[in-house]
Amino acid sequence: MDIPIKKRFLTSLLFFSLFSYLKAETLSEDHQILLSSDAFHRGDFAAAQKGYMNLYKQTNKVVYAKEAAISAASLGDIKTAMHLAMLYQKITNNRNDVSINKILVDGYVQMGQIDKAIELLHKIRKEEKTIATDNVLGTLYLTQKRLDKAFPLLNKFYNAVHDEDSLEKLITIYFLQNRKKEGLDLLQSHIDRYGCSEQLCQKALNTFTQFNELDLAKTTFARLYEKNPIVQNAQFYIGVLILLKEFDKAQQIAELFPFDRRLLLDLYTAQKKFAQASKQASLIYEEKKILNS
């Protein structure tokens, strides 16, 4: 091989090697993006954050700092998320990125800087008008007892989703405004239409009892039980009947379900049905003896 040909060959080989190296580096970045994105969508936010941080350090591309901030926020590491979010804003001078601003809102709330969070949420609402944003903003106004601003936002959210959390916030506002009847009516209406979780049912019973509205409680839980006669609904209905000393009705319902025998024992005793109470006591004794044997 003569010298010119050899030189051209070596030059071509050098360019090929350089191209292969650069291509490998590009593939390496793409591969890391793929791994980090996959980790995020699998819910492995720690791995996603680590991957995006490595990408940011290697490439100095600020978009990876943003993705690392989102991953950190999803992980619950608000301190790191805020640091990266502020870094992103400093480098890009972009104060309108919704994802970044949401991270800052969470951080301000955790630090108790509610006014800053509210101000930023208003900015977010201009870019993204969603009921979820309304809910967060309404909740922040409620924490400040700015009820006139909180109510329309929370009411809009409740009317869209009818969830128990927003229901409780609306009822809280009614009670704080001394609008007891409207609060109780909303509570009863919600249970009539959508039922209630065990937690909400218990809170409702406590609320009705606190305001001495046992007849309203009876109507509410009777309808709930008749509509869906399951153990939980029977339990709350029986609880109201006992408070009203309607032991016979409570007994009739209790006998339909596998409640603790001591409930029937108490109901029989309250009605002076001593023969039936004695039978229940004997059954309780026998069952206890079997368990201890």
Tokens coding 145? 């007892």
pTM (two decimals): 0.81
User: Can you give the pLDDT at residue 210?
Assistant: 96
Domain that holds residue 117: 30-129
Residue 178 counted as domain residue: no
Task: Using a pLDDT cut of 70, give the percent of the chain over it.
Answer: 90
Residue 148 counted as domain residue: no
User: Can you give the pLDDT at residue 286?
Assistant: 76
Closest CA to 119 of 130, 108, 131: 108
Residue 185 counted as domain residue: no
Residue 231 counted as domain residue: no
Closest CA to 232 of 249, 211, 253: 253
Residue 212 counted as domain residue: no
Q: Which residue has the higher pLDDT, 82 or 28?
A: 82
Q: Report the alpha-carbon distance of residue 104 to residue 165 in Å, rounded.
A: 24
The count of domains in the chain is 1
Q: Report the alpha-carbon distance of residue 93 to residue 70 in Å, rounded.
A: 18
Residue 87 counted as domain residue: yes
Q: Which residue has the tokens 């979010």?
A: 85
Residue 56 counted as domain residue: yes
Where do runs of H (alpha helix) occur along the chain? 3-41, 45-59, 62-75, 78-92, 98-110, 114-127, 131-143, 147-161, 164-176, 180-194, 198-210, 214-227, 231-243, 247-254, 261-270, 274-292
**What tens digit of pLDDT does each residue of 19-38 get?**
444 444 444 888 899 998 99
Contacts for 166-170 with beta carbons within 8 Å, 24 or more apart? 166/135, 167/200, 168/200, 168/203, 169/138, 169/139, 169/142
CATH number of domain containing 106:
1.25.40.10
Give, for 111, the enclosing helix (H) or strand (E).
none
Residue 90 counted as domain residue: yes
